[in-house]
Amino acid sequence: MIISLAEIMQIPNASEQMEIPVEAEKIHVAGMDHKVMEKEPVKLTITNLGNRKVRLTGTGLIKLAIPCSRCLDDVTVAFPMEFDEEVDFQKTEAERMEDLDEQVYIDGTNLDVERLIYDEILLDFPLQTLCREDCKGICKVCGVNLNRETCSCDQTVMDPRMAAFQDIFDQFKEV
């Protein structure tokens, strides 16, 4: 959803509160689309600070289905959002980049709420997600989920440095 900030910037010390529904059904992070399992509207307050500065404060919650890093079962992960951003419209986009204050959710005097939400999720996105602490993962041979069932695959892990000796033994094996 795009919100124009031009009107509120015209009124000194103005403040506007709004509740914005989250429209996204999936979020693309780390090369994958993650389904939105649950979402609450973003409660946003826009305050004119004067001198072409605006403060954005708000809260929200979104829950995504992220595959477990070991067994690939979906895990619902909550992303509570709390943001407090100050936007200075006196600065050019190049000056914001130089100050490492890149605000890609601002385009001219328009606020892209979906992009703001995406940035908040991206900051909190976990490097690894586990369905449970003792997740056994999947079998490297047959692909069965070892949390649900066992398999009869050979689980012997050979030292790769010993592969040459194993080849010699395989050549002299009697059939």
Could you report the per-residue pLDDT of 6-25, keeping only the tens digit for each? 788 888 888 889 999 988 89
**Alpha-carbon gap, residue 71 to 50, rounded angstroms:** 53
Q: Judge whether residue 92 has pLDDT over 70.
A: no
**How many other CB atoms are found less than 10 A from the CB of residue 81?**
20
Q: Which of 62-76, 86-100, 114-128 has the lowest mean pLDDT?
A: 86-100
**Contact call for residues 5 and 109 (beta carbons, < 8 A):** yes
- In whole angstroms, what separates CA 54 from the centre of its chain? 26
Domains of the chain, residue spans:
2-124, 136-175
Claim: this prediction has a pTM higher than 0.95: no
pLDDT of residue 27: 92
Q: 91: which 2 tokens?
A: 């600065």
Q: Which of 33-37, 57-61, 93-97 has the lowest mean pLDDT?
A: 93-97
Q: Would you place residue 96 in the very low, low, confident or very high pLDDT band (cuts 50, 70, 90)?
A: low
* Exposure on the CB side of residue 132, measured as CA atoms within 13 A: 7
**Nearest CA among 51, 53, 52, 50 for reference residue 13:** 50
CB proximity list for 152: less than 8 A, separation 6 or greater: none
Q: Judge whether residue 69 has pLDDT over 80.
A: yes
Compute the average pLDDT of residues 131-136. Answer: 93
β-bridge pairing 110-112 and 26-29 = unpaired
